[in-house]
Chain A
Amino acid sequence: MSKPLKKISLTKLLHQNKNKWSFIKLRQFYQSLEKILKETCSYAELCTNNGHWLDYTGTEMNSSCFSCSSVKPDCVCELTFSFSQLFEGPVFFYYGLSNYYQNYRQYGVSKDANQLSGDTTYFLSPQDTCSPYQYDSSGKPIVPCGSIANSKFNDTFKLYLMVNGVKTLVPFDGKGIAWWTDYNVKYRNPATVNGSLAKAFDGTVKPPNWPKPAYELDPSDAANNGFVNQDFLVWMRRAALPNFRKLYGRITGGDYSQGLPAGNYTLQINYNYPVVNFKGTKKVIFSNVSWMGGKNEFLGLAYLVIGCLCVVMAIVMLIVYAKYKFSDDDDMQ
């Protein structure tokens, strides 16, 4: 998939640099290769190695998100791409971060499980592990406390399909993207006070990075607020590895239940989340799943290779067994 692409650019480059082959040229070659790959991937169409994805970090000058990459609130950028054929559904839309250490130990422990399960006694005195996002400068407890919550991913996306030159919104279904157990058991909102969730948060402050407090995360759906906000739940399930993707929404609605039809698309990004300063990248991924879970070629390849190896070994052993089968116990006595 991406291999032919590489090959083409590689041969092209080899051809170009045929006569000036040297170490310096080799370095240039890699640099340009990297550039070509990135460019090809980022701007012309979706990268297709390991899913269909699109980098929107904006470190490149010609990226449409470049202007947003230096911290600027409420910056919006747009990316366009196309599908040449129907992208079969159900389609899942992810955001991906790289070089992001959600598995860093101090980061991982920086939360208060009791607080997040809705126990208001921990609202006023969050656990010490949340430090430095335990109390704000005025000494008020932060709810939800800790680094994980504070660093919640806050870019938002809108996907449009160009139908006859008209932008049509492709709706993301952001419901039911978190684990059932997280939504129903692990994370609970505090009991409402006089029917108001906000009142339950009285005496606490929002995490400093958050634009709005927890009870106003989703203005469109009152039930999707507080600790059981789906995006929050997804974020709180921290990743095992420094490169990870997280589900943003499903594309299942109406016309798109079969998948994303061929055509040109525009992705509108509310760029809020800074990753450039720690050499992280951000991307979006369109993916569908198979019977055995998400698309990952590794397992299939591994089974093929190991199966072959087993056959070879079996033959070798058969030969050994036939040839060297140890003689009876003459030397035992």
Chain B
Amino acid sequence: MGSVLSACGLNFKKEKVQGERHLRANDREFNLSFKYANNAIKTSKYNIFTFLPLNLFEQFQRLANAYFVFLLILQNRHKNDRQVNNRKVDVLIDGQLKNEKWMNVQVGDIIKLENNQFVTADLLLLSSSEPLNLIYIETAELDGETNLKVKQALTITGDLGDNIDRLAAFKGEVRCEAPNNRLDKFTGTLAVEGQTFALDNERILLRGCTLRNTEWCFGLVLFGGPDTKLMQNSGKSVFKRTSIDHLMNVLVLIIFGLLACMCTILAIGNGIWEYQQGSSFTVFLPRQEGADAALSGFLTFWSYVIILNTVVPISLYVSVEILRLGNSYYIDWDRKMYHTKSDTPAQARTTTLNEELGQIKYIFSDKTGTLTQNIMTFNRCSINGKSYGEVVDFTGQRIEITEKTEKVDFSWNSLADPKFSFHDHALVEAVKQGSTEVHAFFRLLALCHTVMPEEKTVGNLYYQAQSPDEGALVTAARNFGFVFRSRTPETISVVEMGTNTTYELLAVLDFNNVRKRMSVIVRSQEGRLTLYCKGADTIIYERLHPSCSKLMEVTTEHLNEYAGEGLRTLALAYKDLDEAEFQAWRERHHEASTALEEREEKLDAIYEEIETDLLLLGATAVEDKLQDGVPQTIEQLSKADIKIWVLTGDKQETAENIGYSCNMLREEMTEVFVVAADTAEGVREELVNARKKMCPGSPDEAPFQKSRFGSKKPKLVLDEKADGEFGLVINGHSLSYGLQKDLQLELLRTACMCQTVICCRVTPLQKAQVVELVKKYKKAVTLAIGDGANDVSMIKAAHIGVGISGQEGMQAVLSSDYSFAQFRYLQRLLLVHGRWSYLRMCKFLRYFFYKNFSFTFIHFWYGFFCGFSAQTVYDEWFITMYNLVYTALPVIGLSLFDQDVNDRWSFQYPQLYSPGQQNQYFSIKAFGKILLHSCYSSLILFFIPYAAMHDTVRDDGKDIADYQSFALLAQTCLLMVVNLQLGLDTYYWTAVNHFFLWGSLSVYFAVSFTLYSNGMFLIFTSSFPFIGTARNSLNQPNVWLTIFLTTILCVLPVVALRFLLIQLRPTINDKVRYKVRQAKAVLPPPVRRFPRRRISTRRSGYAFSHARGYGDLVTSGRFLRRPVKSRPALFPLAESPIAENSPQTYRNIGEGMPSS
């Protein structure tokens, strides 16, 4: 029933607040009685039944009538939803597994997930293929974190295994919390056979996660579709409208006011005229019975409402939608936004927001998957004072590494990872020559980590790393001949240059945020006891043996160099241990690790004890690979005065690092503030201090914009200027305080003064809150860009949401307005498409209003000369055809093709973007100007023909000042003027523009002659009273002289004014256009950009773990994996082009998409 209801979109029952959830496994009837949502989702706004009412409502909001455009979007969204809803999963129904569509999954069903499948709904984990009922999931979609997470089933359910009969007979009863959006918390109980077990987040698989490295698992559906935490977190779909839409609503009101004004004036005029003149003119025009001046005025009012209604831009809405659609297609068709590798074109999923793309002021970006590729590569290393990884040519000049650069051949190593690439041959030579330091270096990398290996087939190694950095390092060691092969709680097996060795693992001194290092103590087969340590360089340096000081200096230089390139660095050190000494330490360690109180502190102290007098081996540099062109894009965008905020779930160090490597945080910045206080007061203090530093004179009270009307809307906060460039880094804790009501203004003011803002450890909801905050208090257009499910909320909240497509998972794309494959396309989307769209839209609106106002105002003036009788100036046919035929196409041509400068110049001068941000091209003020301009034009257009035709005759003495000739003259003048004005407004002439313009004029004359022809009159006598008018008046010289004079008079002042403005007050636009003309359209050759090198203070890049490592698990044996057995690969590897082409990844997990 529920499914039927929700399929109809009529599930308004949602209003009911759901209490506790109660469900039974394998008991559909029981569960259905609660009418819980099934697993279908809906991101589209309408369906076939709700389309009409909802759409009408929205149309009413927009005063628009272009529903056909929405139909297109509707279909688009539905397609995507269908794709998700129709994914297949195995569901246990009636004692056997059936392949069912996702949307048919019900609460209480037991489903089977296989490796690399998306989790179908929010599930209670029952059992898994892995020992101890563990499973691994990737949550990148959900929170942006890339490391695998472990979930474990209850033993009672884990024992069910994959025994279908037992699973089908399972009669658990779950009571749990109502649907909510907290990703990190879950409470509930499971009752099985009278026993009750507590359920927490450890047992729950959330929709949006992906099952990794687990052959299969079974789960019980707790929440389906819209009730899942993912969908609960995604915020509601709101109907997005552009600021121009909002402005249009205001303008329409103004226009209605204007219309009422004009009609009132004319009605009063008519009343007076009737009273003074009409009453005596009855000899020739008798009145209807009972009619008097007042009634006549009243009727006239309504007559004029009909005649002058052309000021109300009804056809404008249709045209607006057409050109938005057209501009959307440009985005879809843009080959420069097509990503070949992933075969992903850019897609405008919402076709109604284009011009807003030209007005973006704030960009909120996700980090993982958006700025970065989510791929770590081992790039450089320094071993014993020698730096490797750079490619130099024969002159010693550094060569930029490109795809064509020759890669190191690892074929000598049968266990090497083929995806790994390295370009410096010297390192391989060093390894082959058997340099002890180099060997020690890689041995360390092969031993000191918490990576879990998986050998699906012999020699086919896969590493599961908790952090991508570690994976990259271990993979590097593997390729250089130190292959980490397997581990047990007590041993680590390594293949060292082809020979199998096993090390006894004695202790893992795990990583945590304070220690910022990890060590292992191993005993080699020869019995040598060694401690291997890797960690943040500053930390390691403090613990080095004095003898290393010389090496330290050289290594520091290298570290600086690496850091300057934005690489994440680690220092590596080792120490040979004395057996006796170690045994003593081991005892103390055992004591500490079993201590009941302050175990952590005690352990840290013990670790500290042994990690001294280390010998430096060298340093590694791992690149968190940015997506292509990210720094350049960010530089371009910031030149366009767009502020970029990074909102990431990652930890502070990682985020900061990326901030530096993609040029958002710069060394030249005056200061980068870090807000990391733990109390509201602390946060306030830090924010205020930062603000005072940026602008000492900044007032305590936020500078509000004076609101013109006593509106209920929150007041807008004005921009404040900072002296210098600043950056702000704020962590999740502080952010949650900052977003509280009393602090949010403070946060906003400080953040908006900074060039760059980075928020770390942000939850999906906070992302949306940040966006909402800026939206609420700033008169600015916001854009959110992200790739994962965790970005959905902010994508929905921002004015424009952009999804990075072409990767796994669809959530972000599903709720986005635009999607493309690479972050770098954002600059093309904004600086080219957005700017053009805005330009075109504004030009279109300005011109459209101009042409319609000029058209209409002439009626107004004529009213004074025809007794206010609502006599139209033009032929009725002309009135019908004016917007529909004569002027429709040229203006659409203008607004589809016009551009001030081409795309390359747009990139050359990103400053061209700023007029859009300031709303310069279309605003109330601009509207006022148009009003005046069309007023002027209409005066000319009426009174010049009036004066010229008054008392004149044809050259054969016959009539030419008759109404019909005058109408023809007036409409011809009008058409000439508006077309010439269009020509003046057109910057960019294409054949189509010419065709439309000249075509429309020719059509006008052709149609006029046709409509006024004998034939038409003879067929439809009463419909074509203008017979012969065109022939009789357009052959007169004075008619043409009048047309010419009118046109000149209308256009000359505009030309003169524009010329003077360009000379006296040139805008950035004028300047660039001038330059383009100067350059004769030859663009200076694009500057070759090399990655910018930073000469910088070193920042520790020890960011290889998000949380405490798995040291405990590794040694406790909980993680013990069964011996390697050949296991068929469930999914073909490297199906995704990303994986295929990326040089080397830590992600050694099959990349195949789940069958869907």
Contact = CB atoms under 8 A, between A and B. Distances in A.
Interface stretch (A5-13, A21-29, A155-163, A172-180): A172-180
A242 B1049 contact: no
B1032 A306 contact: no
Contacts of B281: 101, 104, 278
A296 B967 contact: no
A209 B1038 CA distance: 37
B1064 A324 contact: yes
A185 B1014 contact: yes
Interface residues on A, range: 35 or more
Nearest to A148: B284
Contacts of B277: 99, 101, 278-279
B556 interface: no
A132 B286 contact: yes
Interface string B1055-1083: 01001101110101011101100000000
A332 B958 contact: no
Given A299-B1045, A306-B1048, A237 B955 contact: no
Interface string A113-156: 11001010000000100001000000000000001001100000
A289 B867 contact: no
Contacts of A306: 1045, 1048-1049, 1052
Contacts of A292: 955, 1036-1038, 1041
A178 B865 CA distance: 25
Contacts of A287: 953, 957
A293 B283 contact: no
Contacts of B960: 293-294
B400 interface: no
Nearest to A110: B285
Contact of A293 (B871, B944, B1018, B1038): B1038
A101 to B, nearest CB: 5
A291 B280 contact: no
A103 interface: yes
A38 interface: no
A289 B909 contact: no
B961 A298 contact: no
Interface in B271-292: 277, 280-281, 283-286, 288
Contacts of A104: 281, 285, 866-867, 869, 871
A332 B1072 contact: yes
Interface in A179-214: 179-182, 185-186
Contacts of B541: none
B869 A105 contact: yes
B963 interface: yes
Contacts of A242: 865-867
A240 interface: yes
B1068 to A, nearest CB: 7
Contact of A317 (B961, B1028, B1059): B1059
A69 interface: no
B951 A50 contact: yes
A274 interface: yes
Nearest to B1075: A329
B946 interface: yes
Contacts of A107: 284-285, 869
Interface stretch (B916-924, B977-985, B1019-1027, B1112-1120): B1019-1027
Contact of B1071 (A240, A243, A299, A332): A332
Contacts of A329: 1071-1072, 1074-1075
Contacts of A113: 1021-1022, 1025
Contact of A237 (B303, B959, B1014, B1059): B959
B160 to A, nearest CB: 70
Interface string A51-84: 1000000000000000000000000000000000
A317 B947 CA distance: 30
A106 interface: yes
Contact of A147 (B284, B1021, B1025, B1064): B284
Contacts of B957: 90, 92, 177, 247, 250, 287, 289, 294
A105 B871 contact: yes
Interface string B1007-1047: 00000001001100110010110011000111101100100
B966 interface: yes
Interface string A291-319: 11111101100110010001001000100
Given A104-B869, A105-B866, A108-B963, A325 B1063 contact: yes
B121 interface: no
B952 interface: yes
B218 to A, nearest CB: 64
Nearest to A129: B1022
A103 B1017 contact: no
Nearest to B280: A278
Interface in B500-547: none
Interface string B854-870: 00000000000111011
Given A151-B284, A277-B283, A293-B960, A114 B1038 contact: no
A296 B1038 contact: yes
Contacts of A282: none
A107 B869 CA distance: 9
B794 to A, nearest CB: 34
B904 interface: no
A102 interface: yes
Contacts of A326: 1062-1063, 1066, 1070-1071, 1074
A240 B1018 CA distance: 25
Contacts of A150: 284
Contacts of A291: 955, 1037
B956 interface: yes
A293 B909 CA distance: 56
A156 to B, nearest CB: 19
Nearest to A236: B962
A293 B955 contact: yes
A90 B958 CA distance: 13
Contacts of A51: 951
A239 interface: yes
Interface string B989-1018: 000000000000000000000000010011
Nearest to B1029: A181
A320 interface: yes
A302 B962 contact: no
B959 A246 contact: yes
B43 interface: no
Contacts of A290: 955
Nearest to A152: B284
Contacts of B956: 289
A87 interface: no
A234 interface: yes
A244 interface: yes
Contacts of A102: 963
B911 A186 contact: no
A240 B283 contact: no
A234 B950 contact: no
Contacts of A96: 951
Given A106-B285, A274-B283, A240 B949 contact: yes
A153 to B, nearest CB: 10
Given A107-B284, A293-B1037, 15 more contacts: A104-B871, A117-B1017, A147-B286, A185-B1017, A237-B964, A241-B949, A241-B961, A245-B951, A246-B959, A250-B957, A303-B1045, A321-B1059, A324-B1063, A326-B1071, A332-B911
24 contacts: A92-B953, A104-B866, A104-B867, A106-B285, A151-B284, A177-B958, A179-B1028, A179-B1032, A185-B1014, A239-B963, A240-B962, A240-B963, A245-B951, A277-B280, A278-B277, A289-B955, A289-B956, A294-B955, A294-B1038, A296-B948, A296-B949, A296-B951, A299-B1038, A332-B909
Interface of A: 50-51, 90, 92, 94, 96, 99-108, 110, 112-114, 117, 119, 127, 132, 147, 150-151, 177-182, 185-186, 234, 237-247, 250, 274, 277-279, 287, 289-296, 298-299, 302-303, 306, 310, 313, 317, 320-321, 324-326, 329, 332
